[in-house]
Amino acid sequence: GLVTGSGEPTATINLIRKRANSTGLTGSAGVSAGSWNNYRQEVDVSSPLSAEGTIRGRIAAAHYDRDSFIDRYGQEKSSLYATVESDVTENTLVRAGVEIADTKSRGSINTNAAPYYFADGSKINASRGYTGMTAKWSGWPLDEETYFVGLDHGFDNGWHLNSIVTYNTIHMQGGDLFFLYPGSATQPIEYFNRDGSSTLGFSYSAIIGSSKDVQKTFDVTLQGPYELFGRTHDLIFSYNNFNRERTSYGFEANQAAVPLTGWNGFTWTGDVARYPFKDLGRSNLGITESDGGFVATRVSLADPLKLILGARLTNWETNSRNYDPKTGAYIPPKTNAAPSNHKLDGEVTPYAGLVYDVTENIALYTSYTDAFVVQNNYDANDNLINPIVGESYEIGAKGEFIDGLLNVSFAYFENEKDNLAILDPAYPVNYKTPANNTPYISSGKGNKAKGYELEVSGQLSENWNIYGGVSRTTTENNAGVRINTDIPQTMFNLYSTYGFSGTWEKLTLGGGINWQSEYSVMSRRPSGAPRNANGALPTVAEKRVQSSVMLANVMARYDLNDYWSVSFNANNLFDEEYFSSISSGDGSVTWGDPANYRVSVKYRW
């Protein structure tokens, strides 16, 4: 909440880019091969670019090409990262870099849900690899480029300035997507008959047109110490700005050019001619902008006790404009349309925390923060539902043991999320408002999540590493009824590696387990009753439960010498069959990965 303002009241992940080093030429290169034709090559090199090491660079590149256990799905990706930095003075560092990624998905991940029910309501029992309905030539190309420039400066009084500007583009091509589904455009939810046919026939989908995102961000932070009442404290100021322009393009696709007669969901092999598809001009321009800043201080109340206080001020705005993709003319919104511009000014996000050092190795802490999430949902009168507001409370302990080699932490937390948009039960499922919106209402106050986390990581001895954690989260609405049932409440993982000594000193063995508790989804199953006048199948609600799952993984690495190493990894060792997700609509399922293996060779210098 303090760092970004808008977001879920949970956690953030801090990603750090690779940096160049000044210690000489260093690097690594590796290749790997695994299940389902999974091949990968990578190289990472860093070196000083001047005799003194004040200018240095790093370049990393990778390429992989892999198939999947899922019919006609795979992915190929090439990526390049390059950065250079220079010590302009003893206290000033300038850095710049570029990241380029070219991803080509074969098939479509959106169609990897396997059907679960026949039209008569019985279970299909399809194999884990079956999805069946994607064309062999189908794909989803995605190109991304990122450029950044940063400046870091340290002042003589202990203060430090960090700033970075980032420019990012993401281009997504939608025209290569092609998959079949049973049913028509007017009746999209349909189920296979037992022979793989569809009573309503088949339709195809390109899912989306092409789009291009242009994102610009600017972040600057100033932090350092100050003296007050005879003690030293810390102060931080930060400002960031985010701007994204998303251009969506119209397209033409001639469905009549690809006859869909006589097709079968169980026997089709993905062979189909490419259908006529053409990108047109832009059909929509969506602009989202957020800017704001925060100030926080870490006050030393006593040697073992620190108080952290902070607040953020955020402005957020989004605007959407429609265009005729053939002529480029702006299309004004209809008089009864919902507003396309949403704006929040001066949203305040507070933060407060206490840290108490019980000993040199153990600290207790407690904290409070909140966050907000803008919702693009409307009520029955086409008024925008107010943002979600979430509060988060946490209390915990952190410790260092075995001379700082082993870290242990425990936290208990409670999150409250108010004003969550839920479907308005006063209207039928397919009802649309005058502005063509699905009506929602606010869930009000009191949607709560609470739970705990325990984590252990580090070294138990010189040769023995360990990582383990358990977390449990329960969620309830303001009536005390469990929500988010499609998410496991409890998760546990434990991993360990051991490097041998003596004769086997070049061998490292490891293994671990991931365990999650059961989850459930209310899906729709055909009732077996005759079709209605529109040809639709009547369905009934059915509770589907994925029982608890434990996955075992093992690894081995052997260092051939100081430069070369060979490693082996096996995931889902006992080939557990489980669903990673279950649809609440037609009841289709997405399978978790079966047992898979990978062998890698790496060279370091």
pLDDT, tens only, 360-388: 999 999 999 887 887 878 888 888 888 88
Does residue 272 register a pLDDT over 90?
A: no
Contact between residue 426 and residue 438 where contact means Cβ atoms under 8 Å apart:
no
Cβ atoms < 10 Å from Cβ of 247: 18
Position 417 confidence tier, pLDDT thresholds 50, 70, 90 = confident
Contact between residue 558 and residue 506 where contact means Cβ atoms under 8 Å apart:
yes
Q: What angle do CA 520, 526, 527 make, to 5 degrees?
A: 105
> Which range is least confidently modeled, 91-95, 328-332, 425-429?
425-429
Residues 6+ apart with CB under 8 A from 511: 495, 496, 552, 553, 554, 555
- As a whole number of angstroms, the distance between CA 67 and CA 36 comes to 5
Contact between residue 424 and residue 396 where contact means Cβ atoms under 8 Å apart:
no
Largest CA distance in the chain: 85
Tokens of 209: 């047109």
In the prediction, which pLDDT does 393 show?
A: 93
Contact between residue 100 and residue 79 where contact means Cβ atoms under 8 Å apart:
yes
Element (H or E) spanning 551, and its range? strand 549-559
Does residue 9 register a pLDDT over 60?
A: no
Which segment, 235-249, 251-265, 437-451, 473-487, is predicted with the most confidence on average? 235-249
Alpha carbons within 13 A on the beta-carbon side of 519: 25
Q: Is 109 helix (H, G, I), strand (E, B) or coil?
A: helix
Tokens of 149: 């420039």
In the prediction, which pLDDT does 230 show?
A: 94
Residues 6+ apart with CB under 8 A from 80: 59, 60, 61, 98, 99, 100, 101
Position 12 confidence tier, pLDDT thresholds 50, 70, 90 = low
- As a whole number of angstroms, the distance between CA 329 and CA 348 comes to 39
In the prediction, which pLDDT does 53 show?
A: 92
In the prediction, which pLDDT does 245 show?
A: 97
Pairing assessment for the beta strands 341-357 and 362-373 based on DSSP bridges: antiparallel
Which segment, 48-62, 263-277, 415-429, is predicted with the most confidence on average? 48-62
Element (H or E) spanning 466, and its range? strand 464-476
Residue 495, φ and ψ in degrees, nearest 5: -135, 145
In the prediction, which pLDDT does 504 show?
A: 95
Contact between residue 174 and residue 206 where contact means Cβ atoms under 8 Å apart:
yes
Residues 186-204: b if buried by 16+ CB within 10 A, e if exposed: ebeebbbeeebbbebebbb
- As a whole number of angstroms, the distance between CA 107 and CA 140 comes to 7
Does residue 129 register a pLDDT over 60?
A: yes
Helices (H) and strands (E) in the chain, counts: 0, 31
Instruction: Provide the β-strand partners of residue 330.
Output: 323
Does residue 285 register a pLDDT over 60?
A: yes
What average pLDDT does the segment 22-34 reach?
A: 94
More confident residue, 215 or 415: 215
Contact between residue 223 and residue 236 where contact means Cβ atoms under 8 Å apart:
yes
**Residue type, position 123, single letter:** K
pLDDT digits (tens, 9 = 90+) for 337-362: 666 788 888 989 899 999 999 999 99
Does residue 90 register a pLDDT over 80?
A: yes
In the prediction, which pLDDT does 244 show?
A: 97
Does residue 84 register a pLDDT over 70?
A: yes
- As a whole number of angstroms, the distance between CA 489 and CA 492 comes to 10
Does residue 335 register a pLDDT over 60?
A: yes
Does residue 195 register a pLDDT over 80?
A: yes
Contact between residue 525 and residue 537 where contact means Cβ atoms under 8 Å apart:
no
- As a whole number of angstroms, the distance between CA 205 and CA 225 comes to 59
pTM of model > 0.75: yes
Tokens of 558: 């052997």
Q: State the Rg of the chain over Cα.
A: 28
In the prediction, which pLDDT does 23 show?
A: 84
- As a whole number of angstroms, the distance between CA 588 and CA 116 comes to 5
**Residue type, position 210, single letter:** S
- As a whole number of angstroms, the distance between CA 8 and CA 484 comes to 15
Position 127 confidence tier, pLDDT thresholds 50, 70, 90 = confident
Position 80 confidence tier, pLDDT thresholds 50, 70, 90 = very high
DSSP-assigned states of every residue in 249-309: EEEEE-GGGS--TT--TTT--S--PPPPEEEEEEEEEEEEEEEEEEEEEEEEEETTEEEEE
Cβ atoms < 10 Å from Cβ of 334: 10
pLDDT digits (tens, 9 = 90+) for 538-570: 999 999 999 999 999 999 999 999 999 999 999
Average pLDDT, the chain: 90
- As a whole number of angstroms, the distance between CA 114 and CA 68 comes to 14
Distance linking the first and last C-alpha atoms of the chain: 42
Does residue 14 register a pLDDT over 80?
A: no
